[in-house]
Amino acid sequence: MRLRVVIVGGGFTGACAAWMLRERLDADVVVLESDDATGGMLRTLHTPDGVPYEYGPRIVSVFRGTPDALDFVRRFVTLEERVVYQGTRLVPDYPVVPFPIDLDSVSRLPCGPQVRRELEAIRAAGRPPAEGNLRDYLVTSVGPTLTELAFAGFNEKFWGRRLEDMPAEWGKLRRLERIAEHGDFRLPSVAPHHYPVGGFNPLFAALLEGVDVHTGVAAQRIERGDDGPVVHTGDGSFHGDLVFATGPIDEMLDYSFGPLEWRGYRIETEVVDGSDPERLGRAPDGVPFSWVYTPWPATPVSRTTDFGVIHHGPDGAGRQPSVVLREIVDDSVRMYPVWWEDERFLRYLDLATRQEGVIPLGRLGLYKYVTIDSTFEMVRRMVDRLESYQGADAATRFDLLREVRGDWDN
């Protein structure tokens, strides 16, 4: 008898799981998506004029997961390589410099001489960074000037925490101490960056081809039925041997321990013509910046993206209309999990694994910041362990899901 699986959520986690379950296990899969189309955060959207942009991930690369993810995505869409640079404007009247910051670039700013003196003193002292908290770590690794200009305001604006209230481990995880003498400017990853021809939507059409997909159908509750879990919706009930739940784990469990904290943003979009291919500035090697951070606390904008560069490459960015997108900090958007909720999340995970046949998965289900490559790896780990998971007790399921989730760096 074929394994019956109901997947709640048609984003990349749900679509990837649907494909793997059918391909590897010949499962009978139903996908329930509350939006009017699949894709979730990875979906390519369009302005009323038909100009494309992305709300979530802009590119495909290998950041924290496995290089196998690139081969996987290439099975369904054509990937075009892109040179993606990120920059930062430390204060409103400064020019944009590459981020992570390099000394060559920052030396051209008014604060440059002071930054260089502070870094030289730190390096001459030869002591490892202090680890009392994130401010201590940054001040003793990049100096007080860059700590204030590049990190303090942005951290409080976006993450809602002062540097003093965060551990040094957060800086080490995100490698905030990197100050090279000469920058390579490229968005850090272990593989080239790519954009799929035609946007991300064809990826979901291919992954979900032949799958029973119900859009505009929201899961209301999940209960244990006589022969397995049941997902109840306003459009009827869906029965399965398993339910993969990719929505927020706290919502799925009725906020039993209170809501988990999230960070996120809403967006403002502007269609611009192709007359200015470097509207966000250029790196010292002449490549236009794809996006720029604005760390000073007086502006609610955390980052601005020029999709002309991402969609068409540096040479084609100035030839046709494109979207400039601004991210406005908005904590009501459940986008980025936060490290300080780990204890509460683990209580939710323990409760979830006591519900036989219901498997939380993905960014929202396992409360973890993920990229395309790490999502692919997470789903693959789950499918690899599925037989063991189904025959396990609650404690073993808990341990297995912690392995599937991985840590913050994979």
pLDDT above 90 (res 151) = yes
Residue with the bigger pLDDT between 183 and 205: it is 205
The amino acid at 346 = L
pLDDT (0 to 100) of residue 176 = 78
Structure-token pair, residue 329: 């900090």
Residues 141, 331, 149: CA angle, nearest 5 degrees: 30
Residues 328, 371, 294: CA angle, nearest 5 degrees: 30
How does DSSP assign 186-198, residue by residue? BPP-SS-EEEETT
Does domain 4-43+200-259+338-405 fall under CATH 2.40.50.220? My reply is: no
Domain positions in the chain are: 4-43+200-259+338-405, 50-85+188-198+265-329, 102-173
Burial code (b: 16+ CB inside 10 Å, e: under 16) for 65-89 equals beeebbebbeebbebeebbbbbbbb
Region 295-321 average pLDDT: 86
Helix (H, G, I), strand (E, B) or coil at 312: helix
pLDDT above 80 (res 317) = no
Phi first, then psi: give them for residue 335, nearest 5 degrees: -120, -55
Residue pair 215/204 in contact (Cβ under 8 Å)? The answer is no
Residues 23, 27, 29: CA angle, nearest 5 degrees: 105
pLDDT (0 to 100) of residue 410 = 67
185 pLDDT band, cuts 50/70/90, is confident
Residue pair 245/361 in contact (Cβ under 8 Å)? The answer is yes
Quick one: which H or E segment has residue 397? helix 394-405
Burial code (b: 16+ CB inside 10 Å, e: under 16) for 112-143 equals beebbebbeebeeeeeebeeebbbbbbbbbbb
Dist. CA 26–CA 10, nearest whole Å: 19
**Residue 194 forms beta bridges with which residues?**
60, 81
Region 151-159 average pLDDT: 92
Dist. CA 222–CA 155, nearest whole Å: 37
pLDDT more than 90, % of the chain: 77
309 pLDDT band, cuts 50/70/90, is confident
Quote the DSSP letter at residue 77.
S
Residues, the chain: 410
Region 134-154 average pLDDT: 95
100 pLDDT band, cuts 50/70/90, is confident
408 pLDDT band, cuts 50/70/90, is low
286 pLDDT band, cuts 50/70/90, is confident
147 pLDDT band, cuts 50/70/90, is very high
